[in-house]
Structure 1
Amino acid sequence: MRKLIVFLLLVSFSKLMFSQNKPAYKLYNAKGNKISYKSMIKKMEKADIVLFGEYHDNPIVHWLQLEATVDLSKTRKLTLGAEMFEADNQIALNDYLIDSINQKGLDTMARLWRNYKTDYKPLVDFAKENKLAFIATNTPRRYARKVYINGFEVLDSITDSEKLWIAPLPIKYDSTLPGYVKFKEMLGNHATENSPKAQALKDATMAYFILKNKKDNKLFLHYNGSYHSDDYEGINWYLKLQNKHLKIITVSVVEQENVKKLDNENKLKADFIIVVPSTMTKTY
């Protein structure tokens, strides 16, 4: 009886201590089971491509991206790539990586996101220090804007040199994919039939440049907004169109009031789901 009382007291104390803690994040697999960071890295090590989804303003995800990159580099040769760099900025990015230009030069020559210095510079500098390729995978936004307004047909009128910065035409597109349906619904009355096509152009282009620059003996680690790979759609869908045998690991992030259990609606978003408190501070 005494042992039972001691056990119950220990359990109660543990629950009390956990409730008083403020975990910054919890990791889950697709089914909603808690997993360790080490387990996630072990799975990633065996992949051909990792699509590391993020909320662009979430500091926890940016930190985990850097930590995962460092740890994966210990066991795998890496190629890095990101949505946050557009394909026509590749030369400037390459020049920075080989020290032909400094940070001020990169600021001048490339269209860097406003949170570049806090959230993406550490990744680029890691590539620079370790002589890793870093691929600008996204389509220049001006072409996404054209498609958003006028559809894919407008891309037929751009020059051949400009077409080098987007996925080869014609762009395959499935308007029934849930992600594109949700995107259209999110825009409400502002949505048109062309609205999700701009997203599809980005997804197709990122997949194209990932595959174009992927080496057989290297893991391609790609950073992108989670909505570009959630539910195994977006970039993942276009990658699988080209090669259904690719081993792709996806990561997503969600915000919940309670991080101790993955909400049902967030299950199956990705192979690994990072849950952060909805009160988490933003980087901008």
Structure 2
Amino acid sequence: MSRRILLIGSLLVALGVRAQTPEPGLFTADGRPASWTQLLEVAGAVEVVFLGEQHDDTVAHRRQLRVLEALQERYGDERPLVLSLEMFERDVQLVLDEYRAGLITEAQFLEAARPWRNYERDYRPLVEFARAHGWTILAANAPRRYVNRVSRLGREALTALSPQARAYLPPLPYPEPSDLYRRRFLKLMRGAGHGPMHVDPERLLQAQALWDATMAYTLAEHLMRQPEALIVHVTGAFHVEARLGTPEMLRRYRPGTRMLVVVLRPSADPLRFDPAQHMGLGDFVWLTPDH
């Protein structure tokens, strides 16, 4: 954990970023108050910015839009900017591209792209901002039907898919989850009361790992095509906390990728960093009101 906590401090020193007025609720991995300027300076020095959210946290979604706006203002003339979303699956990339290009209407896009139920409130502002400013938009996730197949039958069941279907997934076999991620996932399942006796927890873990691997492979693929890009990837916080999950899969697919993990976490007291709950969750931890 100490190496991850030191990462953000080392990067700030390397960039020569001076302390600024702290942004309310924004902290470094070890709990030091951080400024908006610090966050943006570090974001500009990496290739992928992970924004880990609780999916129903409306404050977090507004802050994500604020990040996009600031990156556009600061880096829009310097680097290609990319919005990557867990909320869309790779088999709807063509639909997303057609909407981004103005070839189809929004109604047609929504009918074909299988958006999440909270798309209108929480994710549409991100997509529309990116579209208005010419950002590439990536549908990053594995099709849910294939994730479900793994949860029912195991990862080996993917080999029965057609080459066309497998094109929506990372190369098989996809990487195994790390031991630390495995322990965190199984602890989460037990704590949340998931995993009834008829469900194999190992298969649930392998399904989770397929999500992580697919999103990581989507990011790696794009950086191989456009290495100068700055990608903002919006995803559930568990996929990125402690630089596990998707970030560690990305390191396997594209070693040396520079990345920044920002975890947005609801808290009863968003101005107080609790080491027992928040230490090392991300390079930055941004606490939001827990309503």
Match runs of 1:129-144 below 5 Å: 129-144=132-147
User: Is the partner of 2:135 in helix, strand or coil?
Assistant: coil
Structure 2 length as normaliser, TM-score? 0.84
Distance 1:165 1:69 in 2: 27
Match of 1:274 in 2: 286
What is the identity, as a one-letter code, of the residue corresponding to 2:143?
A: P
Question: Cα offset for 1:222?
Answer: 0.7
Match of 2:257 in 1: 246
What is the identity, as a one-letter code, of the residue corresponding to 2:42?
A: K
The alpha-carbon distance between structure 1 residues 151 and 199, as it changes in their structure 2 partners (threshold 3 A), is same
Distance 1:143 1:124 in 2: 25
CA contact (8 A) 2:59 2:289 kept: no
Match of 2:214 in 1: 205
Question: Cα offset for 1:110?
Answer: 0.9
Question: Cα offset for 1:243?
Answer: 2.9
CA contact (8 A) 1:252 1:274 kept: yes
Name stretches of at least 5 consecutive residues in structure 1 with no aligned partner. 1-23, 280-284
Match of 2:15 in 1: none
Distance 1:219 1:154 in 2: 35
Structure 1 length as normaliser, TM-score? 0.86
User: Is the partner of 2:34 in helix, strand or coil?
Assistant: coil
One of 233, 255, 268 as aligned partner of 1:257: 268
For the pair 1:107 / 2:110, whether they are aligned, the reply is: yes
CA contact (8 A) 1:184 1:196 kept: no
For the pair 1:116 / 2:119, whether they are aligned, the reply is: yes
The one-character-per-residue Cα deviations of 1:6-29 (angstroms, maximum 9, x if unpaired) are xxxxxxxxxxxxxxxxxx961111
- Please provide the CA RMSD for this pair: 1.6
What is the identity, as a one-letter code, of the residue corresponding to 2:63?
A: L
What is the identity, as a one-letter code, of the residue corresponding to 1:235?
A: T
Match of 2:169 in 1: 166
Question: Cα offset for 1:119?
Answer: 1.1
CA contact (8 A) 1:80 1:127 kept: yes
Name stretches of at least 5 consecutive residues in structure 2 with no aligned partner. 1-22
Question: Cα offset for 1:260?
Answer: 2.5
For the pair 1:224 / 2:223, whether they are aligned, the reply is: no
Match runs of 1:11-26 below 5 Å: 26=25
What is the identity, as a one-letter code, of the residue corresponding to 1:49?
A: V
User: Is the partner of 2:280 in helix, strand or coil?
Assistant: coil
Number of aligned residue pairs: give it: 256
Match of 1:189 in 2: 196
CA contact (8 A) 2:220 2:254 kept: no
For the pair 1:179 / 2:184, whether they are aligned, the reply is: yes
CA contact (8 A) 2:270 2:288 kept: yes
Match of 1:69 in 2: 68
User: Based on CA coordinates, which of the two structures has the bigger radius of gyration?
Assistant: 1
Q: Which moved more, 1:179-188 or 1:233-242?
A: 179-188
Match runs of 1:72-83 below 5 Å: 72-76=71-75, 77=79, 78-83=81-86
The alpha-carbon distance between structure 1 residues 113 and 25, as it changes in their structure 2 partners (threshold 3 A), is farther
Question: Cα offset for 1:134?
Answer: 0.2
Distance 1:246 1:200 in 2: 19
